């Protein structure tokens, strides 16, 4: 209900129009009754004038009815769309606050389904719910009271149909809702399949497995068709049955009305009025049943919405978070322990190390030892299980997340660029940067020359994930982005391991400029790229097993020397 609060004025007008629509609908048959019963009687004075006045009144009522319907259909739907937009905005903002651990367990296609199709059902409920209930109850009550005043016996006969119609509609409405929930699950599965296949389209085509992906999609698509078949079957029975009930009620009114006319307990004008009200009676019943359907569909979407909204981000800023950014970024790990979950083995146990402000430290070790994980712990993408990480002597949990992450620049092996222009991707490091600042950052990252050679230069669209660029070009753009951000602490995670020798040389030059006068932690795969590190830490099962300069570690003949010898042999 809280989502109605910003639109309470619009809701009130919507319900007022719904009330007006209901009253006019109930009044029109009474106008017809007045004409047929009173104005058509022989010898009625001013007959033509009065019929004209009633015609004018009925036209005015129809005009008012039309205007109110236009308001309900347009503004009512817009109210629902705005509320849907508010919820989608809240959900998107919440998803951005959830930690990496959440996304490790969720599929993008499923989340897309929740933020789009699930909330559309809620939009329809927010719009149709109040007005359908208001119109349905007013019309239903009005029809019952008016027909009861005209002929109680015939009114009771009509009411005998209502329990049957209610039970019938409830049964098939439930079947529709069950089928609807299944179809929602199936469309989410299709979203997951499409997202997975298209995101990996290069792998699909490189293995010539288009037929395999098509078969997987066809299976998911067929499950969706089956769920829709069940939904449409129940829908057909529902609407067909309701129409049949309406026709049966008309037949009963005609037959019993004819008998009543022969018995002189009902006149023709009242029979015509009854038939008009029977036609009206079906609509409010359908509205109330539709509301039950919208409610079931909407509440399913709402529960899925709340499942995400109620998830508390695993990593949050403390209430008394420090908004002052660290200056020197002296980095220290104190007895850090970490595991991804209770089911996983510990990645670190009592890991301690210290990196002085402005020091260039490289971290090496066997694959899977936890180097990348360590790089993700410093910006609090994951939370330590024990111990603590400090910047300038302050535990990183005491900084606000925004302050902490604005102080850290990361360059990963797997570069992510947005489907935007070159300039927009670089400016991501500083959204309010001027054009001159963007160009200066690109020059520092050795990217300016290749950018200028692109068809539209800095305004060139680079495609999803920067697919129109080479790996080295993408990496240089990511470095330019960090240059523009200008953080005091850098974490470089195997930033050149996927590049060819020429690209590596160019990227390495830009990285060396980036490292100057910054505290730097380099997670290295190629040992040749870290010869100039002030200190190299060798990570093993027991934590840091060796440390020293490149020359010192080679002379020692330990783990680092063995790694170096293996790479030299390769």
498 pLDDT exceeds 70? no
Distance (Å, whole) CA 184 – CA 181:
5
59 pLDDT exceeds 90? yes
Distance (Å, whole) CA 371 – CA 530:
15
| Residue 174 burial (C-beta neighbours within 10 Å; 0-12, 13-18, 19+) | middle
What is the chain's length? 570
What's phi and psi for 145, nearest 5 deg? -70, -40
Given this model, what pLDDT does residue 570 score? Answer: 62
Name the strand (E) or helix (H) holding 125.
Answer: helix 117-150
What average pLDDT does range 327-352 have in this prediction? 84
Given this model, what pLDDT does residue 68 score? Answer: 93
Q: What is the CA radius of gyration of the chain?
A: 36
The whole-chain average pLDDT of the chain stands at 84
The model's confidence at residue 327, banded by pLDDT at 50, 70 and 90, is confident
Tokens 């817009």: give the residue: 78
Q: Percentage of the chain with pLDDT > 90?
A: 7
Q: Could you read off the pLDDT of 264-311 as tens digits, one per residue?
A: 777 888 888 888 888 787 778 777 777 877 787 788 788 888 888 888
Tokens 């939009």: give the residue: 123
* pTM > 0.75: no
Given this model, what pLDDT does residue 556 score? Answer: 87
Distance (Å, whole) CA 56 – CA 292:
38
Q: Percentage of the chain with pLDDT > 70?
A: 98
557 pLDDT exceeds 90? no
Pairing type for strands 360-365 and 331-338 reads: unpaired
- DSSP states along 354-379: EE-TT-EEEEEESTTSSHHHHHHHTT
500 pLDDT exceeds 70? no
Distance (Å, whole) CA 452 – CA 255:
86
Q: Is the torsion defined by CA of 316, 318, 324, 329 positive or negative? A: negative
| Residue 291 burial (C-beta neighbours within 10 Å; 0-12, 13-18, 19+) | buried
| Residue 522 burial (C-beta neighbours within 10 Å; 0-12, 13-18, 19+) | buried
Q: Could you read off the pLDDT of 421-436 as tens digits, one per residue?
A: 889 988 988 888 899 9
Q: Domains plus CATH for the chain? A: 82-309 (1.20.1560.10), 331-569 (3.40.50.300)
């Amino acid at each position: 209900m809280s989502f109605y609060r910003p639109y309470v004025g619009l809701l009130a007008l919507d319900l007022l129009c719904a009330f007006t629509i209901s009253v006019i609908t109930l009044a029109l048959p009474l106008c017809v009754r007045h004409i047929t019963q009173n104005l058509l009687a022989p010898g009625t004075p001013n007959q033509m004038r009065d019929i004209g006045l009633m015609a004018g009144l009925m036209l005015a009522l129809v005009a008012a009815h039309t205007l109110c319907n236009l308001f309900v259909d347009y503004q009512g739907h817009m109210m629902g769309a705005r509320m849907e937009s508010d919820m989608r905005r809240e959900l998107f903002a919440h998803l951005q606050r959830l930690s990496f651990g959440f996304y490790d367990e969720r599929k993008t296609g499923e989340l897309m389904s929740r933020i789009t199709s699930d909330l559309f059902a809620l939009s329809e409920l927010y719009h149709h719910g109040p007005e359908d209930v208001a119109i349905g109850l007013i019309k239903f009550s009005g029809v019952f009271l008016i027909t009861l005043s005209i002929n109680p016996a015939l009114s009771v006969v009509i009411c005998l149909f209502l329990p049957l119609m209610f039970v019938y509609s409830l049964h098939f409405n439930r079947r529709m809702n069950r089928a609807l929930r299944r179809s929602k699950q199936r469309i989410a599965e299709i979203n997951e399949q499409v997202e997975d296949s298209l995101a990996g389209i290069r792998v699909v085509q490189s293995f010539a497995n288009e037929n395999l992906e098509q078969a997987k999609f066809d299976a998911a698509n067929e499950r969706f068709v089956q769920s829709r078949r069940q939904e449409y079957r129940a829908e057909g029975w529902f609407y067909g049955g309701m129409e049949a009930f309406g026709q049966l009620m008309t037949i009963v009114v005609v037959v019993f009305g004819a008998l009543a006319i022969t018995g002189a307990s009902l006149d023709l004008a009242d029979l015509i009025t009854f038939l008009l009200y029977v036609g009206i009676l079906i609509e409010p019943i359908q509205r109330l049943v539709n509301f039950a359907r919208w409610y079931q569909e909407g509440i399913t979407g709402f529960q899925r919405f709340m499942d995400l909204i109620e998830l508390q981000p695993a990593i949050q800023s403390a209430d008394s978070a420090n908004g002052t950014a660290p200056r020197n970024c002296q980095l220290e790990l104190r007895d850090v322990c970490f595991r991804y979950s209770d089911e996983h083995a510990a990645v670190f146990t009592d890991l301690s190390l210290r990196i002085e402000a402005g020091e260039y430290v490289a971290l090496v070790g066997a694959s899977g030892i936890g180097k990348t994980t360590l790089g993700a712990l410093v910006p609090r993408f994951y939370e330590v299980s024990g111990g603590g990480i400090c910047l300038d002597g302050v535990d990183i949990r005491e900084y606000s997340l925004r302050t902490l992450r604005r102080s850290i620049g990361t360059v990963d092996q797997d570069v992510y660029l947005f489907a935007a222009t070159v300039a927009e991707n670089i400016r991501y490091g500083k959204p309010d940067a001027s054009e001159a600042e963007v160009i200066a950052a690109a020059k520092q990252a050795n990217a300016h020359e290749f950018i200028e050679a692109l068809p539209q230069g800095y305004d060139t669209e680079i495609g999803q994930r920067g697919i129109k660029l080479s790996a080295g070009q993408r990496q240089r753009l990511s470095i330019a982005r960090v240059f523009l951000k200008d953080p005091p602490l850098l974490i470089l995670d195997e930033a050149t391991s996927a590049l060819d020798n020429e690209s590596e040389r160019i990227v390495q030059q830009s990285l060396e400029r980036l490292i100057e006068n910054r505290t730097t932690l380099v997670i290295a795969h190629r040992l040749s790229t870290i010869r100039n590190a002030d200190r190299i830490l060798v990570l093993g099962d027991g934590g840091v097993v060796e440390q020293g300069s490149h020359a010192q570690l080679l002379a020692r003949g330990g783990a680092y020397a063995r790694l170096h010898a293996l790479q030299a042999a390769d």
